[in-house]
């Protein structure tokens, strides 16, 4: 667990550039997201709690999806976290869709030393 006072702009660009590449299916696209970017900036302008979890690769992602709920708060069940969100941008929680994505995102927010400590060994 790690608390960041806010996420800096460079990290946000790296994080969402990766998402843009995946969402658009165009590998290597390197533009800063523009649609909704002010909202994304605002969303991460205050404290962020980062949590790394370990478990079975796909089942952990599936279980977290059940806990957090749909991106759209109005599609969430009463017992899901995102039901308290305002809209798809301000939906209270982000999680990685796969173990591979989780490692890429963890490398943006945790130092190599922190990751080595978590994984009990050397990281790439």
Mean pLDDT of the chain: 81
Average pLDDT for 100-104: 87
pLDDT tens profile 42-91: 878 889 999 998 877 678 888 999 999 998 999 999 999 999 998 887 88
Q: Is the confidence at residue 9, as pLDDT, over 50?
A: yes
User: What DSSP line would sit under 22-48, residue for residue?
Assistant: HHHT-TT--PPP-TTHHHHHHHTSS-E
């Amino acid at each position: 667990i790690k608390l960041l006072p806010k996420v800096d702009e460079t990290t946000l660009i790296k994080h969402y550039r990766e998402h843009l590449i995946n969402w658009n299916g165009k590998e290597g696209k390197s533009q800063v997201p523009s649609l909704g970017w002010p909202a994304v900036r605002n969303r991460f302008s205050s404290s962020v709690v980062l949590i790394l979890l370990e478990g079975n690769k796909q089942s952990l992602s599936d279980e977290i999806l059940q806990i957090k709920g749909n991106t759209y708060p109005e599609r969430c069940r009463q017992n899901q976290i995102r039901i308290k969100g305002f809209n798809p941008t301000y939906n209270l929680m982000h999680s990685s869709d796969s173990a591979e994505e989780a490692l890429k995102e963890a490398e943006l927010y945790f130092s190599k030393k922190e990751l080595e400590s978590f994984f009990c060994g050397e990281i790439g």
